């Protein structure tokens, strides 16, 4: 598995891409750079028929950390849901995990593993932590 942009040891012999996007600088070139890298790595994973998980901050997804971080988190979620439609027949999962700051790394790793399973979720957003409760989310 390839892990990019996320803290912790996600490397393993299992196939898959784990792409983390947090702490984005609040400018258009940074947004563009992160999304282009996600797209490039996603293309490679799809060609290799590897499952994909994007990991974002719940606060980024809710717009609490500024426009740039929100744009990247929402862009990854939208991209994952669109790709899930295209990849469903191939059985290639692509999912998003939104994490609260206090969630321990081992819990994130367990959920990443679950979301990489071929017979698991497809095109889903999984929230780890209560930070999203009471918020209007699509």
For the chain, the structural domain boundaries read 2-128
pTM: 0.87
Residue 39, classed as helix, strand or coil, is: helix
Residue 47: is it exposed, middle or buried by C-beta count within 10 angstroms (0-12/13-18/19+)? exposed
Q: Could you please state the CATH topology (level 3) that the domain comprising 2-128 is classified under.
A: Rossmann fold (3.40.50)
Q: Is the pLDDT of residue 14 over 80?
A: no
Residue 124, classed as helix, strand or coil, is: coil
- 30-40 pLDDT, tens digit each: 999 999 999 99
- 52-100 pLDDT, tens digit each: 999 999 999 999 889 999 999 999 999 999 999 999 888 899 999 999 9
116: nearest Cα among 65, 67, 53: 53
CA torsion sign for 9, 13, 14, 19 is positive
What strand order describes the sheet that includes 2-4? 2-4, 17-21, 52-57, 94-99, 125-128
């Amino acid at each position: 598995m390839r892990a990019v942009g996320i803290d912790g040891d996600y490397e393993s012999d299992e196939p898959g891409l784990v792409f983390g996007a947090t702490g984005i600088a609040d400018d258009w070139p940074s947004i563009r750079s992160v999304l282009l890298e996600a797209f490039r790595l996603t293309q490679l994973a799809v060609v290799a028929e590897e499952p994909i998980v994007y990991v974002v901050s719940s606060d980024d997804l809710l717009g609490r950390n500024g426009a740039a971080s929100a744009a990247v988190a929402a862009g990854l979620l939208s991209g994952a849901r669109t790709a899930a439609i295209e990849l469903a027949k191939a059985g290639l999962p692509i999912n998003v995990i939104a994490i609260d700051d206090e969630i321990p790394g081992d819990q994130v790793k367990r959920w990443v593993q679950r979301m990489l399973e071929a017979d698991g979720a497809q095109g889903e957003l999984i929230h780890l932590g209560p930070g999203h409760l009471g918020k209007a989310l699509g």
